[in-house]
Amino acid sequence: MPGLVVDLDGTVYRGESLIPGADSALRRIRAAGHRVVFATNKSVERARSNADKLTALGVPADPDDLVTVNDVLARHLMQRLGPEQRVLVVGEAPLHEELTAAGLTTVSRWEEADSVAMGWDRNLDYATFNAAFQAARRGAYVAATNPDPTCPVEDGELPDCGAQIAALETALGRDVDIVVGKPAATMARAAAARLGLAPEQCWMVGDRLATDIRMANEAGLSSALLLSGSTPAERTGDGPWRPDRVCADLAEFADWFLGQ
């Protein structure tokens, strides 16, 4: 029985508001026996706060139901670098906490950094940005959470980690070493593993072509693009990434998915 990897922002909710019908859609999918995990590129929130938010919106969830980009990044750095490596963090408290919980050593001085972990930072200042730049220029390995240029909110969008990555890459004159969040296969493998399934046994349901659908296409998941978030109907054919299904929202997807 296929499992579902479901995006959050623009798919289940927008800002603090549930997208109409998302709660009942997920309830019906779960009642039919399909496992669901939620995959988020949002590095400024903890798994617990995501689970609490979903539950308050009528979608019961535990932290184990969340595959967060912070957890994926922490695991990647531990596997690649080991706990003895020192990490300069550009990001908010949830990213710092996840890296520390994984056993990584964080530092504030760029001269001490073996790697840079970059997440979305809504308080980013020049000194912090420059520290990341100096560490990277000195040879530190740069791993970022997610490539999203913006994050959807109730009244529009905000610049996200992708905008920070672009600024750092412009200054460095090269790409960062890795971005682990969607559309990376790193995220797809983590989500499929959480479901206990192979990627080809999973559906990715999300609102962005360049992250959700691209990840599905490249990692072997089936995919559904929802028009409830960042992708308007007239842009569904943009780029090389193709969803298996296009639906207005989760309610429409559930009707189709459960009616097969």
Any idea which residues carry the catalytic annotation? 7, 9
Residues 6+ apart with CB under 8 A from 33: 1
Residue 88 CA, distance from chain mean position: 21
Residues 25, 219 contacting (CB under 8 angstroms): no
State in Å, rounded, how far the first CA of the chain is from the last one: 13
Strand 156-159 with 150-153, pairing:
antiparallel
E-assigned strands of 32-133? 36-40, 66-68, 86-90, 105-107, 115-118
What does the block give as tokens for 176? 């960062």
Q: How far, in Å, CA of 58 to CA of 203, rounded? A: 22
Q: How far, in Å, CA of 78 to CA of 99, rounded? A: 9
